[in-house]
Amino acid sequence: MNAWSRRRLREALVTFVVLAALFVIVAVLIETTFGRGHQRIATEFLLVTSLVIAIQSYVGNSGLISFGHVSFYAIAAYVAGLAVLPAGTKGRQVPDLVPFLRDIEVGLWPALGLAVAAVVVFAAFTGVPFARMSASVVSAATLALLVLTHSVINLWSGVTRGPQGLVGIPDLVTTWTVLGTALAVSGGALLFRASPWGLRLQAVREDEVAAAALGINVAVSRFIGWMVSAVLMAVGGAMWALNALAFAPSKFYFADTFSLLAMLVIGGLGSVTGAVLGATIITLLAELLRNFEGGLTVGSVTLPELPGIVQMATAVLILLVLMWRPSGILGNTEAGGLRWKRR
């Protein structure tokens, strides 16, 4: 297999430039135009997009659906949150915390490094058996991983504060930090997709038996994809936590798993550009429909409360996309690989 394909690298570079332009425009609008409410939405969009791209780097290249990536998200969030919390605050919130975690108090970048390191250890421990499983059982195994991780952080009150979660996290994240996160995660995902390791994993996705016959180690390819995706997820999860300032275990469970995977399925499983497109569509849809959940008055017409309408609309959109394009709107196509022709 060719080590680094020029065509793939050129496509990745063009795609990165297109996505970077989008992210920079959003960041500039946050700083110069948006009000406080819209700033929150736009910042959340950049962070959620980073998480979707991180999941795509595994799901899109391997062809295996993972429900367990929110576990990496949760671990990174808690490690980063505990690392930056002032010692006095941790002493009050989690008095039984182990001395190392209770006394440590670091800044943004050391906290990010600790979060990534913790996720790397956890991903390596879980990735070895998952990489050796057959494709038919990986999804069920990752679902079990999600449930197990959520149960641990929900019950381990001596470290995570249990259902109450962490509060009072210092505000260390700026618009440019969030922009850098989106650029780093998207660049890493595109580079992995064009790399020899990414190409091997894509070959396994297309035909596992044929890939093995060509000398590709299926387990190693899946393990590398799992680790790369975990690191990207850790970066996005840590930055999300330091931007949120407070969170609880309920954040890292089925609702967010469904939301992130829905964005990926709608935009295109095999495409980083598709992940961004799906995140954009769901973010806009959620903001448009959120007012309807509590009821709405238009002139003399009063609409009743419609709780759950965002989730219902997302589910309907997934069904429509799957009927129209089972691989998502963009499928495996990146922005750098689009071909524009005259009709």
The answer to whether residue 109 is domain-embedded is yes
175 closest CA partner among 41, 73, 28, 36: 28
Q: What is the chain's mean pLDDT, rounded?
A: 89
Length of the chain, in residues = 343
The pLDDT > 70 percentage for the chain reads 93
Residue pair 159/244 in contact (Cβ under 8 Å)? The answer is no
Instruction: State the CB neighbour count (10 A cutoff) for residue 210.
Output: 11
The answer to whether residue 318 is domain-embedded is no
The answer to whether residue 323 is domain-embedded is no
Residue 302 pLDDT grade (very low, low, confident, very high; cuts 50, 70, 90): low
Instruction: Please count the structural domains in the chain.
Output: 1
The answer to whether residue 230 is domain-embedded is yes
Q: Which residue has the higher pLDDT, 310 or 141?
A: 141
The answer to whether residue 112 is domain-embedded is yes
Residue 210 pLDDT grade (very low, low, confident, very high; cuts 50, 70, 90): very high
Query: Mean pLDDT across the stretch 216-243?
Result: 96
Q: Which residue has the higher pLDDT, 294 or 246?
A: 246
The confidence score (pLDDT) of residue 1 equals 46
**Lowest-confidence segment of 54-58, 76-80, 159-163 by average pLDDT:** 159-163
The confidence score (pLDDT) of residue 35 equals 73
The confidence score (pLDDT) of residue 342 equals 41
Residue pair 277/268 in contact (Cβ under 8 Å)? The answer is yes
Rounded to two decimals, what is the model's pTM? 0.92
How far apart CA 26 and CA 222 sit, in angstroms, is: 34
The confidence score (pLDDT) of residue 299 equals 60
Query: Mean pLDDT across the stretch 266-283?
Result: 93
The answer to whether residue 196 is domain-embedded is yes
Distances (CA, A) of 171 to 107, 108, 123, 128, 242: 11, 10, 28, 36, 7
Is it the case that residue 146 has pLDDT exceeding 50? yes
The answer to whether residue 293 is domain-embedded is no
Q: Which domain holds residue 99?
A: 6-250
Please report, for the chain, how many H helices and E strands are present, in that order: 15, 2
**Lowest-confidence segment of 108-122, 173-187, 195-209, 297-311 by average pLDDT:** 297-311
The answer to whether residue 319 is domain-embedded is no
Is it the case that residue 272 has pLDDT exceeding 90? yes
- pLDDT per position as a tens digit, 7-58: 888 889 999 999 999 999 999 988 888 777 778 888 999 999 999 999 999 9
Residue 76 pLDDT grade (very low, low, confident, very high; cuts 50, 70, 90): very high
Is it the case that residue 341 has pLDDT exceeding 50? no
